[in-house]
Amino acid sequence: MTARRNASGSIRRFVALLLAFGALGAASAAGRHQQRPASGSRRASRSRLQVSAASVWHPNSAALKAIRSECSQTDTSRYGECFLKGMEERSASASAVAFARTLQNSSKEGVGYMKDFTEGGHVAVAQVVFPGREASREAWLLVNGDPSPIDVDDLALLPMADVRSDIVFQEIRRTYARVSVFGDSRSEASPPLVPRAAEAQEFLVNYALRDGCPACKRVGSAQFAFDFEGNGKFEGVSLRGVWMTPDQGTLAPVSMTKDFHFHLVADHPAGYHWELASPIDERFVSLAGMTYSPADSKTGTPGVEDWTFHPRAPGRTIIRFQKVRPGEKTATQERRFFFVVTIR
């Protein structure tokens, strides 16, 4: 297995492609433990809301602007009823208004309406817009199951202990001590659905890892599975993987059967070279050697260090590199990189 990091950002593009095609297999071995919903979240979702595509409403921007203008003149306690009346007056179906009314009664977000509906079997996905929500205005609700609805951004449902014990999360926290899980964009129609045996369902949902607040720097992502039995009963949530942003590191699945390499761009004439930023875990890998190929001005090929490692046992480990000059003990964040190695 060969991985490259150079000025053109090939690793960033490589990782982006992996994520785009759902290549989380290397990070999914850990975190299969499921967690039952917290009691408070279960109580909030006990209503067993049953909905269909008939509850969808597609207002234009002028209609929404008019409703907001009209309802802004009413008392705060009557804003919800005013919004429902505005829906009725602007071609919303009786089912769409009924859904919005139930949503007001069951959701802490208050006023909202269904923008889209995706069938998935016993449990479906309602894409909901909350016009008054301060952050992301759209949400995914898993509906028609037991309980219903379930808001995937109810973070109380997530097994945070599994996140904190994940090797990638721990590595990210070495640099970003305040890293936490936050909801992600829900502008797509629905989360990916993975069919399971006997009509059971699994919805894969991604979340942002940010440096301490919803608007802070994104430093990674996490993926969780919402699992339902064949009859629609909610089983719980399990962690499927944690990964870093492409500028920090990448996933490296390797085989037990042969050595693997990391090719790192280096400019030895300028004094820069790569070194291990911390000792490797020799339970899993050992360093077999490093060779340097100088730059070739005729072809424009940069200088490259070829680091070779020997796999010793199946498992997951992290190999950390930093690019330094002689006499430097540590490098800046921009000159540090790590590989999450999964040996099989």
| pLDDT tens, position by position, 91-133 | 999 999 999 998 888 766 678 999 999 988 899 999 999 887 6
**DSSP string across 164-213:** HT-HHHHHHHHH-TT-EEE-----SS---EEE-GGG-EEEEEEEEEESSS
CA distances (Å), origin 30, targets 22, 33, 162, 242, 330: 16, 8, 8, 10, 31
Is 230 within 8 Å of 199 (Cβ atoms)? Answer: yes
Q: 234-272 burial string, b = 16+ CB within 10 Å, else e?
A: bbebbbbbbbbbbebbbbbbbeeeeebbbbbbbeeeeeb
What are the pLDDT digits (tens) for 235-255?
Answer: 999 999 999 998 888 989 999
Q: Phi-psi region for residue 327, left (φ > 0), alpha (ψ -120 to 50) or beta?
A: left
- Of the candidates 203, 101, 116, 213, which has an alpha carbon nearest to the alpha carbon of residue 152? 203
Q: Measure CA 81 to chain center.
A: 36
All domains of the chain in start order, with CATH: 27-39+154-244 (no CATH), 42-151 (no CATH), 255-343 (2.60.40.2020)
What are the pLDDT digits (tens) for 312-343?
Answer: 999 999 999 999 998 888 888 889 999 999 99
286 pLDDT more than 70: yes
3-state DSSP assignment of residue 82: helix
What are the pLDDT digits (tens) for 296-305?
Answer: 988 888 999 9
Residue 42, pLDDT score: 38
32 pLDDT more than 70: no
The pTM of the full predicted model, rounded to 2 decimals, is: 0.76
Q: Which amino acid is at 92?
A: A
Measured CA to CA, the distance from residue 164 to residue 209 in angstroms comes to 12
